[in-house]
Amino acid sequence: MKVLIVEDEFSLAEGLRFNFDAEGYAADVAATGEVALERLNESKYDAIVLDVMMPGKSGFEVAADLRERGDYTPILMLTALGRPEDVLLGFESGADDYLTKPFDLNILLVRVSGLIRRDSWSRSKPSNARNANIFDINGRKIDLENLTLSKGDEVIRLTLMEAKLIEYLIANIGKPVSRKSILEDVWQLQEDTDTRAIDNFIVRLRRYVEDEPNNPKIVETVRGVGYRLNQTP
């Protein structure tokens, strides 16, 4: 398994490289976002450990650039920014998981291993295998295990956090769910925070499932409450 560590703090980067090597990974280090993107152009990695605060391109920008070009390598984001809105910004940019500095090394290793295992399993699963987590919403096939949304020949790769939000809305079909409950139940963030990042996720979801995203019928806004998924999948 190959891991790319994107971290500008030399001692931390080398410490992570040493520990990943000790666990049997092949670990490379990039000190800037620009170097990381170059490495990812040249080589395939099984996971990325991505610091947020770096000179040049931030971790948020690196994650967004990768997702925009169709690279869905699992990303664990490291951040000294512990505010919930910063965590949500990381998810919005395409991160699959996050840890706040300072972090427990064993937890980081377990989280990365879990991301790789899930990604590997979804890629190796036979396309005709039965999957209880496939849903049809407005003619779109949503596969929550393989993190894909299909409409005809078009296939969109979902981030893990997009899939978790869809799964939560499906579990509460026909019921209004508040932004606060999404924040706490989907992203496990307990503090009060700016919920605009959640609204941005909803905008993206509507682009996926609505015939007219600007006139939503499937993912409806419930004024003063939050959102409701109207169509039974």
- Alpha-carbon separation of residue 221 from 115, 142, 162, 172, 180 (angstroms): 32, 21, 18, 14, 14
Rounded average pLDDT per 10-residue block, the chain, 233 residues: 95 95 96 95 95 92 92 90 76 88 92 87 55 83 88 86 90 91 81 68 90 92 91 59
**Residue 129, number of CB atoms within 10 A of its CB:** 8
DSSP assignment of 13-43 equals HHHHHHHHHHTT-EEEEESSHHHHHHHHHH-
pLDDT at 109: 95
Q: pLDDT tens digits for 163-187? A: 889 999 999 999 999 988 888 888 7
d(CA 175, CA 78): 35
d(CA 159, CA 151): 17
d(CA 179, CA 175): 13
Q: Which domains does the chain have, with CATH numbers?
A: 2-124 (3.40.50.2300), 134-229 (1.10.10.10)
pLDDT at 131: 57
pLDDT at 152: 84
pLDDT at 37: 96
pLDDT at 188: 76
pLDDT at 193: 58
Residue 159: closest CA among 114, 197, 205: 205
